Every structure is written in structure tokens, then in C-alpha cells.
Amino acid sequence: DGGITQSPKYLFRKEGQNVTLSCEQNLNHDAMYWYRQDPGQGLRLIYYSQIVNDFQKGDIAEGYSVSREKKESFPLTVTSAQKNPTAFYLCASSTQGRVGTGELFFGEGSRLTVL
Amino acid sequence: AQSVTQLGSHVSVSEGALVLLRCNYSSSVPPYLFWYVQYPNQGLQLLLKYTSAATLVKGINGFEAEFKKSETSFHLTKPSAHMSDAAEYFCAVSGGYQKVTFGTGTKLQVIP
């Protein structure tokens, strides 16, 4: 079945550690996105990528980094510079290269907790 | 600039009753509008989308939404609530080349 796979589903981190969240899709989609979800705040865009080897900052990119070396993969690193990293992280993809015009397909999310 | 306002962070309905979740948007260009549903600890799933065709949009699981330009609204309705409809619902707007902006969500509780 085609879809988006995020791993790990749950992750615990000590303060000061970097962690990397994996996102893989086999939908052959051009665009991929990372969102952060906090209770009562909806989804906020961290980074997005419309083609391989290119990505743009979203609304809350500080303390995060990404790479897009393959069309299928868009990993997110939460660095120690992120002041409040505890959150639910969602990866998504879409068929169209133009951000915003197409349906977003989401993974099941990764819940990061900083101890 | 674009934004979405969802009225009511929590809505409770009885099983079999009408579901009405409210969404108002702001967009400087003709908008694309979306409703997504999220079950606990899962990702979001598209319910329906408006892309300037028919103003009444039908989606999955018996949901529909009506685009009203004069009211800048895109409310989500379902004639009869089912227990399985309990979830969080997100309205979203986009202006094409602009990124998608999500509302803060409405949690729907269905009372047996």
C-alpha cells in the first residue's frame, strides 16, 4: 500500500540532544512537508520541499533542520537549539509541486517528549 | 495573507443529531479550502476540498461543506452524527502558491 511512514512513533530525548525523525513516502509525490502540532494551536509549518535538494523554511523553522537527498525521504532533525521541542510532529506530502493547491497526505506522526 | 478561524474548540452533539462545525477564512486571492479529520495519535485525513467548482462540496463519511463567499465561510455539516465521528476536525485555507494555513481545530464529542 502506498503511503507515508514516520518513525519512530514515540521518542524521548534528554535536553541538549539532537534527534532525527524519519519520513518516507512511496506515493511518488514531489512535495513534502513537516508540521508541528501542539494542543489548541493547530498545525504549524516547519519546513517544506518541492523538489529534491531544495527546501524552504516554514513559519517556525528555528531549531530545526531538514534534508531532501531523495524524492522519497525528508528527515527532520530537532536540534538542541529548539527551546520547546516536546510536540507531535507530522510529515505530509502532496502531488503538486505548487504548495497549497493539492490534497495533503499525512503520516501517523511522531510524538517527541523531552525529559 | 490568509487565515482560518474555527469557532468552538469543543463541540458536543448527541448521536443522530446534526453536526455543524464552523470555519471562517480570510484570503487575498480566491481560496482553496479543506476540511481534515484527525483521530487520536494519528495523522490527518482529508474529508473534502473546495477548489472553485461547485459551492456545495461532498466528502467522505457523509460530510459536506458549503462555500459562501459573501460570508467567507466554509462550515462542515453532517445530518446525523455517529459515534465514529468523534475526532478533531481542522479547516484549512490556501491561495494556490501560498502554503496551507490550518485552523486551531474543533474536537467533536458524540454523546450516545
**DSSP states of A54-102 as a string?**
EEEE-TT-TTEEE--SBTTB--EEE-TT-S---EEEEEEEES-SSTTSS
Residue B105: its chain A contacts at CB < 8 A?
40, 42
* Site of grid cell 462555500: B67
- Residues A78 and A15: their CA atoms lie apart, in Å, by 11
B11 or A84: whose pLDDT is higher? B11
Say which amino acid occupies A4.
Answer: I
Q: In terms of DSSP bridges, do strands B2-7 and A64-66 run parallel, antiparallel, or are they unpaired?
A: unpaired
Residues 16-45 of B with CB under 8 A from A: 32, 34, 36, 41-45
Among chain B residues, CA nearest to A38: B104
Provide the mean pLDDT of chain B. Answer: 93
Residue B106, min C-alpha distance to chain A (Å): 9
Among chain B residues, CA nearest to A57: B99
Residues 6 or more apart whose Cβ sits within 8 Å of residue A2: A26, A27
Residue B104 has a pLDDT of 95
pLDDT tens digits along B34-62 = 999 999 889 999 999 998 778 899 999 99
- Residues A24 and B26: their CA atoms lie apart, in Å, by 33
Residue B51: its chain A contacts at CB < 8 A?
101
- Residues A55 and A59: their CA atoms lie apart, in Å, by 13
Q: Do B90 and A43 touch (CB under 8 A)?
A: yes
- B28 pLDDT higher than 70: yes
Q: Do A103 and B98 touch (CB under 8 A)?
A: no
Among chain B residues, CA nearest to A91: B43
Q: Measure CB to CB from residue B97 to each of A42, A43, A98 and give the nearest one.
A: A98
Q: In this structure, what are the phi and psi dihedrals at residue B8, rounded to the nearest 5 degrees? A: 95, 110
* Confidence tier at B13 by pLDDT (50, 70, 90): very high
Q: Do B102 and A99 touch (CB under 8 A)?
A: no
* Site of grid cell 531538514: A66
Q: Do A42 and B102 touch (CB under 8 A)?
A: yes
% pLDDT > 90, chain B = 79
Q: What is the mean pLDDT of residues A44-50?
A: 93
Q: Do B41 and A4 touch (CB under 8 A)?
A: no
Q: Do B44 and A104 touch (CB under 8 A)?
A: yes
Strand partners, A5: A24
